[in-house]
Structure 1
Amino acid sequence: MEKETNVRPDLVVILGPTASGKSALGIALAQEFKGEIVSADSRQVYRGLDIGTAKVTPAERAMVPHHLLDVVEPQEIYSVSQFQQEAIAAIQAILQRGHQPFLVGGSPHYIQTVVDHFDIPTVAPQPELRARLEAQPLEQLLAELAVLDPASAAVIDRKNPRRVIRALEVCLVTGQPFSQQRGTSQPLYRCLLLGINWPRTVLYQRIDSRIDERMQQGLLKEVQDQLASGLTHERLDAFGLEYRFASRWLRGEFASEAEMVQKLKYASHDFTRRQLSWFRRDKRIIWLDAEADLLTQARAALQTFRAHSE
């Protein structure tokens, strides 16, 4: 009887690089296994950032309940700690309804905070401090982080100012290295991690096609609308490559739209390599062959997972 009290509920995680087909697989599985989806995307939490983040459409949301989409305005700061708290709350509510929760996305940090139940420093955002840090060149911020927290500086995404500023913010407010304030608690869920694996050349083609589609869907207008609403170019830069490059194009930094699109594709390939490097470290992930029948593979893995419940 004692074992029953230690049984952890099942959480199915669908992850993978940009343009790998996570959303479609998540919807198909959730429909089949009476599920609901919690988005694990660091940009889809923002309202109005739809095209550049490949946010699921209203029609797709009508097929399966989705959570943690359109949570805050782009002017607001949404932290990893906030995501963890709200994702766990959403998962618990799904379980209480007797449904299967699916965590679907490509943001490794977000996924890990839930799967491994990270202890995250609960330092509230400091607007004045952030404004001062945001005014400094990224190279200077990295140098400061290397002094205050060498361990974080060694592994942090050096091209992501938000991550660097957050690490510095925690260091400066608490007086302790950010890396020493993160640990793991007892896992809340028994997790099945399913990754979508494409041959690299095919994945790059899918990324390029998606960028072309986003341009056709009105990515530049989406960025212009955000600027018109009062969002700054600097804030747009924090929302990832699509918004960063579109913002730079609108500021006249490229000779042509075609040049901007091509450089965005190259930068997206590089980002995907880093994304995959992060995921490959986690040996728990079961990689599905995207060139075969993804749904059949995922269904079999989920059925086996359930058959070996604790």
Structure 2
Amino acid sequence: MITLLGPTASGKTALAVRLAHRLGSEILSADSRQVYCGMDVGTGKDLSEYTYQGKTIPYHLIDIVPAGTKYNLFAWQHAFHQVYTSLRERGIQHPILCGGTGLYAEAVLRGYHLPDVAPNPELRQSLQGLTLAELRERLASYGPLHNATDLDSPQRAIRAIEIADYIRQQRLDGVLHSEYPPIESLILCITLPREERRARITARLRQRLEDGNLIGEVQGLLDSGIAPEDLIYYGLEYKFVTQHLLGQLTREELFTALETAIHQFAKRQMTWFRGMERRGFTLHYIDGLLPREEQLSQALAYIEAWEAKESITSSPTAI
């Protein structure tokens, strides 16, 4: 498998599509919010980008559950393996896992299996009143697979702590097991200078707000009957635009608060990716400032070298 990571607004989808086109492959999304139907603009699905040189590249794990539900890593992992197994059975040599949710990517690369955890009312009660920063600090104490990469609301942080606490107890009792094997993968990561990343995020947000698509999308979700608190649960665009539509934020306050939140989110994404290296993964970096075709050439060179190495190590005559 080929894994393509990168922060928001780095151009992951465009590169993944070009890679899939060249390799005759298909794309699996590793994005915790693109699973929701109707949440398109705020999650940056950019579905038009999946058509390249007249060919539409098949994609998976996008638009698989209704907006308003609370999907989780447990369910996504099962869905991922169903699709991944199907792709390999159809002869897809290098499925491409592409996204910015490092937790999801690392979970399948390592073969972690997180159980479907029931609510823990006592634990939830004990966490009530803690600030988001305090909740993130508590979550980090459970280990590297439970940081706050895409958690920007207390509700999501509390749920993550609930799962982490359950897993810790299962480990102590010796009953936690891995259902899935690790997946061998070449990991590519698009990088951008901090100021360029921030400039892209700001420009994209300004455009989405000025053309009305983002606010219109959130209004449509509310009009469809989704409760405001459910949209706020998803964080980032859906949290702040919902608060704006409820009259809690002015248009200027919306832009300022959301811009800051997305910058912080992108920083946490890069922190996660660097943490993967400390946890034993090798990441091959691609300069996000390069033209698309040069990025593609660089990615193909990494793949060629990786395949050559894999061929040597798997050879019966290899020493």
TM-score > 0.5, shorter chain as reference: yes
The one-letter code matched in structure 2 to 1:290 is G
Contact 1:46–1:69, Cα closer than 8 Å, also in 2: yes
| Residue 63 of structure 1, aligned match among 56, 67, 72 | 56
Greater shift after overlay, 76-85 or 53-62? 53-62
Corresponding residue of 1:74? 67
Gap regions ≥5 residues in structure 2: 315-319
Runs ≥4 residues deviating over 6 A = 177-183
What is the aligned residue count?
293
Corresponding residue of 1:86? 79
Corresponding residue of 1:49? 39
Corresponding residue of 2:289? 291
Whole-angstrom distance in 1 between the partners of 2:187 and 2:7: 14
Aligned residue runs from structure 1 range 123-162, under 5 A: 123-126=116-119, 129=121, 136-139=128-131, 146=138, 151-152=141-142, 156-157=147-148, 159-161=152-154, 162=156
> Post-superposition shift, 1:56?
2.9
The one-letter code matched in structure 1 to 2:258 is L
The 1:287–1:49 alpha-carbon spacing in structure 2 relative to 1, beyond 3 Å, is same
The 1:249–1:91 alpha-carbon spacing in structure 2 relative to 1, beyond 3 Å, is same
The 1:195–1:184 alpha-carbon spacing in structure 2 relative to 1, beyond 3 Å, is farther
The alignment status of 1:244 with 2:244, answered yes or no, reads: no
Other structure's SS at 1:43 match: coil
Contact 2:3–2:96, Cα closer than 8 Å, also in 1: yes
How many percent identity over aligned positions?
31
Whole-angstrom distance in 1 between the partners of 2:140 and 2:9: 33
| Residue 258 of structure 2, aligned match among 259, 264, 278 | 264
> Post-superposition shift, 1:94?
0.9
> TM-score with structure 2 length normalisation?
0.81
Whole-angstrom distance in 2 between the partners of 1:153 and 1:187: 20
Corresponding residue of 1:24? 14
The one-letter code matched in structure 1 to 2:289 is E
The 1:217–1:298 alpha-carbon spacing in structure 2 relative to 1, beyond 3 Å, is farther
Other structure's SS at 1:190 match: coil
Say what the alpha-carbon RMSD is for the aligned residues.
3.2
Contact 2:113–2:180, Cα closer than 8 Å, also in 1: no
> TM-score with structure 1 length normalisation?
0.83
